[in-house]
Structure 1
């Protein structure tokens, strides 16, 4: 086995993960019923589902399991997408749109079900989430979202400013939308726990095994890495925002949004006991979004759009002091960043790569619960040849206009906002 130098971020999740998982790199030739490229939530959920059904599964990860967005995100297990449910139905059509709404409304059940079934040590907290109104217009938007969700039977509620202040410990918000179906996890530990469960079920997982070539011939997919070759009847490409080009399995260029986070050192209840005392995870209605949560050790974690660096980190320190003045001098222990694949309409895509090949991408920041259910559904479709259970219909092509320019635009917008915001 080749020795590799770690390229993992210095994130809180790396430092606090309760789950451990390591795997060798691919050497020599292997075969499988299903090849999976990408060791994030989508690929790992697919591997666990397929192996549990008796399929021969091989998963290839270019770095370490959870290296990409699955190990860098906020850890919010949300029900639904960024889009309000009416918009999902309008863009996909009534039947497919409402089917997707229903699937994703129940998706947190799948996540927390896996955690319980496989005893994953990922600090699960199902206290719901708070979508925070950063301005009066944001509260109006939340009321519309609540009405749409309630019309579909969701147990969501709009909170006034006083109740929001009690639940968050901050008086800076105009209200919030509480969704009790949702929750928080330690995101890297969840990915590693899925990997452990998949390996126990019989999946063979290889880390540090980047695919450098992929082609389909003779009724099989043939994947090559620096050290080996894999042949499989079916292929799932689950690389999303961390895709590396491989000849024969090209994915469309996607607009990418950078998102970074800061975490304080653990804080005692005398300092932070009234900050999110119920354990909810939060994000706000700002166009350049901010997230806020705590972990099991009492660290306060704030995130925002941007790639990190002096401008963004300076803003984050000011923002934390603005929302929670008593944390103005709280020591910071970790700063890290990741990438989000953001489709133009904020809807995920399932792309046919060729015979027996699918790619899943474009969660637009909602990767944990959708990634879990999309991965399971993609594995079933590939093994059975029946695509009717896919959460969205598979397409033969997809393109995002001006992807690189939009990526640059997102970062520049975040920089501009963070240069002038929260200077108090």
Structure 2
């Protein structure tokens, strides 16, 4: 039998990625539910489908497959939700980076309508899954507010809101006084904006842990601390070999590693830019302040290109995030720009203690769209959610599962495309540094 080895060298890239972001000060880790007791893969086995990656996409895919009787094995390099799925802001926002009119222009009316319908329902995918499997993750569906800091962005957000309202979204425009009252932010910070009531929030790590538990209850086999280091062709099957030397064989593999993608599949890592996002959180706010800030627990992000996003959690802590430093570090000084954003948004919180701080990576693509690849028979890859990951990865994972079990290409929400490395990818940190300065200027004017 002839084996085709796609990654013959077992490198240290996986291990280095696992220690890149210190999570000792993460609010989500500090308030996580009990982690499911998961084994390490220590003996070879067979499955119908192998999922590499235990984040939202991989776990949602595994859950959907297992719930329909498919024998699925998940290989996670660390623990479920270790990557972006356990580090994000927990904002569940439907849609994509592009508005419906832009999608129509990019893809044409027929394809765009399918993409728009899919993107519109991504928050539904999360909240329906939470309800169906009784996932304890503080799920709240009170909407997303997007604030516009200048007249140009106000026109953009108004056009965005009108497009979604015309398509039946439960949304409304907000003027300056209304958005200030709803958020409890500094007067004049936003000229106006809109609220999309399809959106909401979850405790992101608890959502990932809940997906893992639900998948196991449905019959999936989930292994942690079992990093995939090599993929080989094995007759009609594929074999995934882990760092322990054990392996899983199956006719189908789903690669769901997103921003934590390494060299497992050729050229995949160089097709995305791993941007860093950093967050801080307060202790539970005093009752008087809590009654003035996001009383209805909406989530918020502004319309800047270098945006800030914020919310309160179930205990009344304020969480705010934005761009992180390259490379990600954990010193207090590396979060001062997030503190400044917090105090500019909520002057009443100036000097507040910030006991929690953490960072993580998100996968950015050149076209700001998620990418689907099938570079060989039996291999399906999805990555690049560009900051909308909670809803998108859940819905894409479910769609891939339906595609595999039904052998139905129509189940996929986006066209399958070749893997296209970004030119001069080794300079991606320079790209980001230049883009940050450029976007700062654009946001000013």
Q: Secondary structure at the match of 2:355?
A: strand
8 Å CA contact 1:305, 1:411 repeated in 2: no
Please tell me whether the aligned partners of residues 92 and 200 of structure 2 are also in contact (alpha carbons under 8 angstroms): yes
Q: Secondary structure at the match of 1:332?
A: coil
State the match for 2:291 in structure 1. Answer: 273
Using the TM superposition, give the Cα deviation of residue 158 of structure 1 relative to its aligned residue in structure 2, in angstroms.
1.3
> 1:399 aligns to what?
421
Q: Distance in 2 between matches of 1:260 and 1:91?
A: 31
CA offsets 1:199-256 (integer angstroms, 9 cap, x no match): 0000000011111100223111110012211101100000010012125695543112
Q: Structure 1 residue 276: deviation in Å?
A: 0.6
SS in 1 for 2:279: strand
Tell me which residue corresponds to 1:163.
178
Residue of structure 1 in register with 2:101 after alignment:
86
Aligned position for 1:136: 151
Structure 2 CA distance, aligned partners of 1:193 and 1:248? 32
Q: Distance in 2 between matches of 1:102 and 1:27?
A: 43
2: CA distance between counterparts of 1:414 and 1:248?
29
Q: 1:351 to 1:154 in 2, by over 3 A?
A: same
Q: Is 2:194 the counterpart of 1:177? A: yes
Question: Where does residue 114 of structure 2 map in the other structure?
Answer: 99
Distance in 1 of aligned mates of 2:265 and 2:412: 26
The match for 2:335 among 313, 319, 328 is 313
Which position in structure 2 is the counterpart of 1:124? 139
SS in 2 for 1:395: coil
1:381 to 403, 409, 416: 403
* Cα shift readout 1:245-302 (whole Å, capped 9, x = no counterpart): 1256955431122110010111122223211111100111111111111101111111
Native 8 Å contact 1:214 1:249 kept in 2: no
- Asked if the contact 2:308/2:341 (under 8 Å) is kept, the reply is no
Provide the C-alpha distance between the structure 2 equivalents of 1:347 and 1:180, rounded to a whole number of angstroms. 23
- Aligned-residue offset at 1:23: 1.2
Contact kept, 8 Å, 1:346 with 1:364, in 2: the verdict is: yes
Aligned pair in 2 of structure 1 residues 413, 252: CA closer, same or farther (>3 Å)?
closer
The partner residue of 1:282 within 284, 300, 304 is 300
Q: 1:77 aligns with which of 68, 75, 92?
A: 92
Are the counterparts in 2 of residues 155 and 179 from structure 1 also a CA contact under 8 Å?
yes
Q: CA RMSD in A?
A: 2.3
Candidates 76, 100, 112, aligned match of 2:127: 112
2:165 to 137, 140, 150: 150
Q: Matched residues in 2 for 1:84 and 1:416: separation? A: 23
Closer/same/farther in 2, CA of residues 382 and 195 from structure 1, 3 Å limit: same
Deviates more, 1:267-276 or 1:303-312: 303-312
Q: Equivalent residue for 1:322?
A: 344
Shift of residue 151, structure 1, vs aligned partner: 2.4
Structure 2 unaligned regions, length at least 5 = 1-14
Distance in 2 separating the partners of 1:68 and 1:369:
16
The partner residue of 1:206 within 223, 226, 240 is 223
Q: Distance in 2 between matches of 1:229 and 1:41?
A: 23
* CA positional deviation for 1:383: 2.9
CA distance in 1 between counterparts of 2:235 and 2:267 reads 16
**Per-residue displacement from partner, 1:336-359 (whole Å, max 9, x unpaired)?**
111111111111111013111100
TM-score, structure 2 as length reference? 0.89
CA-CA distance at 1:93 after TM superposition: 2.2
Q: Look up the SS of the partner of 1:154 in the other structure.
A: coil
What is the rounded CA distance, in whole Å, between the counterparts of 2:419 and 2:226 in structure 1?
27
Distance 1:155 1:281, change over 3 A: same
Equivalenced residues, count: 418
The aligned counterpart of 1:259 is 277
Shift of 1:310: 5.5
Could you give the per-residue CA deviations for residues 148-183 of structure 1, whole angstroms, max 9, x where no partner exists? 212222222110110101111112111121000010
Q: For residues 250 and 415 of structure 1, what CA distance do their matches in structure 2 show? A: 27
TM-score w.r.t. the length of structure 1 is 0.93
- Secondary structure of the residue aligned to 2:238 is strand
For 2:53 and 2:247, how far apart are their aligned partners in 1?
16
8 A Cα contact 2:261 2:268, kept in partner: no
The question of 1:341 aligning with 2:363 is answered yes
